[in-house]
Amino acid sequence: MDTGHESATSFAKPFVLILVLAFGLVGCSSTKVAYRYADWGIVWWVEDYVSLTADQKQQLNNDIAQLRQWHCSAELPRYQAWLDELESDVSNKPPDQATIEYHQQQLFSFFPSLLERAAPVATNLLSSLSDEQVQELADNMGQSQREMEEEFLADSPEATAEARAERTSERVERWLGELNSNQRDIVRQWSANRGAQTEIWLQGRRNWQLALLEILEGRDEPTFEAELEYLILNSEEVRGEAYKAMMAESRVAMASLMHDLILAGDNTTLAHLQNRAVELKNDFEALTCSPA
């Protein structure tokens, strides 16, 4: 139930996490469609950053199709088991802090195996880039970074915190339903207490991009695959110590926020959370793992 910190939007990580998060955060009726057509969504997303040749696009499509096939058959059963447990844990009474932290850890436990499987996909694509494509990627990442700084950094720390509160409320409401006034106050106070979280997140994002561009200079070297895999699997290390510390604190703070919001809600809050788990589980069960 990680819904608090800004979502990752560097190059390789969303390329992967869209398979998990894109369909998990949309409406229940869209889950199956989003999952089945995630292949195209990833290709379109990548092409926002770099124009692909026909051969590159075909290779990427093939790699993503294999990744999705593995993910559907090997990982979705794990998601279903987790959602079963979540549904059970919120069926009778509000979960305590330890239970919320446990489910947050369960969600994060899905990422490493997915990232490991996605690393070769990223290697196949990035190792094939021409010098012109690498420059295009650098230019577009720089433009994206500037746009995100303009979007997320307001004119004052107070305005930045207020915008963060709005984003957090929207994400939380997907799991808990519409927040009451007391819950919105809790979110606003929580967001105000996050300090320079947004600035640290943006700097960490930039650090990761610069590291990617640096290793792309040696994409013809035998060490490239290992270096790229490290970049993907150890994102927080690459993003810097401030980012690492922020993420550790943010995860604890998010679990606490979810606990406080559930307690500040009523029976409909808990029912919405339970129904959300059931809806997602049912959607996952309805998916077939045959190639699209």
Distance CA 136, CA 140 (A): 6
pTM across the whole model = 0.82
Residues whose CB falls within 8 Å of the CB of residue 48, separated by 6 or more in sequence, listed in order: 140
Q: How far is Cα 264 from Cα 133, in angstroms, rounded to an integer?
A: 51
Mean pLDDT across the stretch 106-125? 88
Neighbouring C-beta atoms of residue 66, cutoff 10 Å: 14
Q: Is the pLDDT of residue 267 over 50?
A: yes
pLDDT of residue 283: 79
- The answer to whether 162 and 184 are in contact (CB under 8 A) is no
Mean pLDDT, range 274-291, rounded to an integer: 79
pLDDT greater at residue 292 or residue 219: 219
Give the model's pLDDT for residue 97: 92
Q: Pick from 215, 264, 218: which is nearest to 238 by CA? A: 215
Asked whether the predicted pLDDT for residue 198 surpasses 70, the reply is yes
What pLDDT digit, counting tens, does each position of 19-69 carry?
333 333 333 345 555 566 556 556 667 888 899 999 999 998 888 888 888
Q: pLDDT tens digit string along 159-189?
A: 888 888 999 999 899 889 999 999 999 999 9
> Quick one: what percent of the chain has pLDDT higher than 70?
84
Tokens of 174: 């997907």
| Arithmetic mean of pLDDT over the chain | 83
Q: Indicate the pLDDT class of residue 134, thresholds 50, 70 and 90.
A: very high
Cα–Cα distance for residue pair 64/118, rounded to 1 Å: 8
Do the beta carbons of residue 276 and residue 83 sit within 8 Å? no
Asked whether the predicted pLDDT for residue 232 surpasses 70, the reply is yes
- What confidence score (pLDDT) does residue 260 get? 95
Helix, strand or coil, per DSSP, at residue 171: helix
Give the model's pLDDT for residue 4. Answer: 40
